Amino acid sequence: MSPSARSPIIGRLLGTLAVVLAGTFLAATCFQTVLGSRQLASNFISPATWAAVTAAHPSAMGSGTVMPERALVDISFGFTLLPCAVVSLVTWLGGSVWLTRRGWSWNEALITWGWYGWGWWILLDVWEWIWMSAAAVGWASLADLLSVIPQFWLAGCLAGWITTFLTLASVRRSSPESNVVSSSQRRVWIAVSVYTLVYTAMNWRLYGNLLVPHGDSVMYEEHLWNLLHGKGFRSYLDQGLFLGEHIQFVHLFLLPLYVLWPSHLLLELCSSASLALGAFPVYWMARRHCGSDRAAFGVAVAYLLYFPMQFLDIEIDLKTFRPESFGIPLLLLTFDQLDRRNLSGTLAGIALCLTVKEDYTLIFGPLGLWIAFHRENTTQLDGIPPTDADNAAAGSAVKNESGVVGAIRRLCRSRVVIGLGLSLFSVGYLWFATRVAMPWFRSGSEVHYASYFARFGKTPEEILQAWLTQPFSVIEALLTLETALYAMAMLAPVMFLPLFSPGRLAVGLPLFFILCLNELDGSRTPQHQFHAPLVAVVFWSVAAGLPRATSLITLLSRRLKAIPSNDQVDIQGVLARLVWTASLCTGLFFSLGPQGFPFWDPGSSWYWRTLYGPNPRSEKFARIAPLIPATARVASTDFVHPRFTHHERSYDYSGYQRKLAGEGQRIPADTDYLVIDTGHKYSTIKWPGEIPELRDNPEGWELLPDLTEGTFIVLKRKRDER
């Protein structure tokens, strides 16, 4: 190579080196700021781990012992620069070596990977600049928001960095799309199987370790057991049949399997499998809209890595089974049938979704309006192929234009009728469920979740009236940091692609706003069950939004000449990679599974060894289990309660006043045994003298010998008291 030819290469290499160095230094600066603050660091690691890390820092050690309550620690720049430099050097050189195996020359690999890849490292520190600027000028609201979202910013930059490398690795080698179809479908099956195995194993270990509560989890298995044994569709938490709590009976469809295997473990398996199988309608919808199996596979993987979906499998408080988990795949199938223009399939899906919970009417009401007023585009922007009837109508256009106009008008009228009919039905069903059916099963009592909106009223009518007549109070309640974080948590893992299909995304807005007005702890975060229908709406919108985003970005790139017309970059493929990598990277900071740092963080409440490793409580319970016959009526605390659901009766022993127990009583009068779990972290009773029943009536109860070193306390009612 001549000197004149080498000069441009050397210049480009030096420019790339400058970008890599700048990215490394700025990333180290960002991490220095985050690690120096307990508040900022808590977005990434547990306070206990942060205290341990900062305690090991020389400057921190010199200033004294780092206590968990300390808010700030002086972290030296070298403490974060060294690991950033090592990662930067290894990934730059290692990535370049890999690219040379994909058809790149060494110089081009170094330059292209370093230039585009480390631009994301530079972008990482932009968060710090904006945050510090907002604080400096007194924009407290913006500064507060930025202080709780650095994990989203880091996840976005990391996803962009990974996507850049994957795109460079694929740009020189690609196989025809026709060769990908069957392999993509097989890979979806593999991904679904892996998710099911991992989360089923986790759920089973939690149950085995006595970490799954009875309330709002194992009580659903008790429904099946009691129904099969003539006790009604209920658990003994309820004042009557469970239909007084919710019009929710989808889990009864498991009865044929439950007859063969009457165990809560069956429900856990079915829950994880059903959530995983939701990847298939996501795949089908994305393939239909995008016309690419590669892109569809990427969206399906993003669904499995989407941490708000995973929280339907294991909630933040370790409730591992909810019937709502069946609602996500059912609603996704409903959307898939709607996109296919299959009316019977859509109606069947709607009917099945209504067995999950009455809340789904809050989706179907807006969906009806979308069906009624959404208009198909002849360019098939929405990706919906024409039906045979459409083709026949198009063919007859040459002969009779008026017939086509009439057919289109009839089609529009039918969509309007079906859509408005669905909306009216949804309103009527919700009214019937909350004002007629549920109060009837509750002996006239008000539905329990009216109390979730106490600031607006005591009954659904009062609450609705307040929403309509006090708009400023509603707006004030919605414009909060929690609302912004909730929206961020739902949209950031899919890189905000649903915004490119605003009509579909708007179907979920009423439910989202209601959840944001909910005063119950945990309702304004996707870490419980409330947001389940929104997961399906998000991925329905992603499937339609991906090709729209592709078209827009391609148009802008061509006009700005950012991408030459003959470039091999597949914009749609890049966006599909960005979606699943973003879902992966946000899960690093939120997922409770192996995908997330909390699973591996020793200071975290969700550390794998603590939750899934050997647990002495389960071994100790085995010592007392033979003491309590299956014919007994047992009252027990929440986390040991699941072991007694197959007994004659299984009553709740807690601070809640159960109507079943009688006014002023904690347990019913026919209780034979009382079992207290003192070993769980939420246990309030630690020794027999703290049990009111034994303290107030020592002649009526026998304290059985302690076989568990105080972990479990067992009281037996004396026979002469019966």
Which helix or strand (DSSP H or E) is residue 92 part of?
helix 77-100
Spatial distance between the Cα atoms of 711 and 115, rounded to a whole number of angstroms = 60
DSSP 8-state code for residue 1 = -
What pLDDT is attached to residue 547?
A: 94
Spatial distance between the Cα atoms of 192 and 245, rounded to a whole number of angstroms = 32
Spatial distance between the Cα atoms of 535 and 503, rounded to a whole number of angstroms = 16
Q: What is the pLDDT of residues 358-395, one digit of tens each?
A: 999 999 999 999 999 887 543 333 333 444 444 444 44
What pLDDT is attached to residue 51?
A: 87
What pLDDT is attached to residue 55?
A: 79
Structure tokens at 416: 């309007």
DSSP 8-state code for residue 450 = G
Residue 158 vs residue 456, higher pLDDT: 158
Q: Strand, helix or coil at 310?
A: helix
What pLDDT is attached to residue 383?
A: 37
What pLDDT is attached to residue 304?
A: 98
Which of these ranges, 302-311, 393-402, 417-426, has the smallest mean pLDDT? 393-402
What pLDDT is attached to residue 455?
A: 87
The 3-state secondary structure of 161-194 reads HHHHHHHHHHHCCCCCHHHCHHHHHHHHHHHHHH
Q: What is the pLDDT of residues 355-366, one digit of tens each?
A: 999 999 999 999
Q: Quick one: pLDDT band at residue 181, thresholds 50, 70, 90? A: low
Residue 326 vs residue 450, higher pLDDT: 326
What pLDDT is attached to residue 669?
A: 87
Q: What is the pLDDT of residues 271-319, one digit of tens each?
A: 999 999 999 999 999 999 999 999 999 999 999 999 999 999 999 889 9
What pLDDT is attached to residue 4?
A: 45
Q: Quick one: pLDDT band at residue 403, thresholds 50, 70, 90? A: low
Q: What is the CA radius of gyration of the chain?
A: 29
Spatial distance between the Cα atoms of 246 and 360, rounded to a whole number of angstroms = 12
Spatial distance between the Cα atoms of 154 and 585, rounded to a whole number of angstroms = 8
- Tallying the residues shown for the chain, one arrives at 722
How many percent of the chain have pLDDT more than 90? Answer: 61
Spatial distance between the Cα atoms of 390 and 513, rounded to a whole number of angstroms = 38
What pLDDT is attached to residue 567?
A: 52
Residue 462 vs residue 59, higher pLDDT: 462
What pLDDT is attached to residue 180?
A: 55
Q: What is the pLDDT of residues 629-644, one digit of tens each?
A: 999 999 999 999 999 9
Spatial distance between the Cα atoms of 80 and 84, rounded to a whole number of angstroms = 6
Q: Which long-range contacts (CB under 8 A, 24 or more apart) does 709-712 make?
A: 709/620, 710/678, 710/686, 711/616, 711/617, 711/620, 711/621, 711/677, 711/678, 711/679, 712/620, 712/621, 712/624, 712/640, 712/675, 712/676, 712/677, 712/678, 712/679
How far, in Å, are 6, 9, 179 from residue 3 at the CA level?
Answer: 5, 10, 45
Does residue 552 carry a pLDDT above 70? yes
Q: Compute the mean pLDDT over every residue in the chain, rounded to the nearest whole number.
A: 87
Which of these ranges, 4-18, 100-114, 594-608, has the smallest mean pLDDT? 4-18
Spatial distance between the Cα atoms of 412 and 372, rounded to a whole number of angstroms = 8
Q: What is the pLDDT of residues 558-601, one digit of tens each?
A: 777 655 444 556 889 999 999 999 999 999 999 999 999 999 99
Specify whether the CB–CB gap between 327 and 353 falls below 8 A.
Answer: yes
| DSSP structure string for 460-520 | HHHHHHHHHH-HHHHHHHHSSHHHHHHHHHHHGGGTTGGGGSHHHHHTTHHHHHHHHH--S
Residue 533 vs residue 665, higher pLDDT: 533
Does residue 182 carry a pLDDT above 70? no
What pLDDT is attached to residue 170?
A: 86
Give alpha helix (H) positions in 125-263.
126-137, 140-147, 150-171, 181-208, 219-228, 255-260
Report helix angle 401-432 to 361-373, nearest 10: 160
Q: What are phi and psi of 716, to 5 degrees?
A: -120, 130
What pLDDT is attached to residue 74?
A: 85
Select the highest-mean-pLDDT range: 352-356, 444-448, 678-682: 352-356
Spatial distance between the Cα atoms of 159 and 336, rounded to a whole number of angstroms = 28
First to last CA, the chain: 101
Give every CB contact of residue 598 below 8 A, 6+ residues apart in sequence: 46, 590, 591, 592, 604, 605, 606, 607
In whole angstroms, what separates CA 636 from the centre of its chain? 31
Which of these ranges, 198-207, 283-292, 517-526, has the smallest mean pLDDT? 517-526
Does residue 57 carry a pLDDT above 90? no
Segment 430-441 shows an average pLDDT of: 91
What pLDDT is attached to residue 311?
A: 95
Which helix or strand (DSSP H or E) is residue 649 part of?
strand 649-652
Q: What is the pLDDT of residues 24-51, one digit of tens each?
A: 999 999 999 999 888 899 999 999 999 8
Report helix angle 150-171 to 77-100, nearest 10: 20
505: number of Cβ within 10 Å: 23
Segment 212-227 shows an average pLDDT of: 93
Total-model pTM: 0.91
Does residue 126 carry a pLDDT above 80? yes
Structure tokens at 166: 């994957």
In the sheet with 633-636, reading across from the earlier edge strand, the strands are: 649-652, 633-636, 673-677, 712-717, 701-703
Residue 545 vs residue 444, higher pLDDT: 545
What pLDDT is attached to residue 177?
A: 53
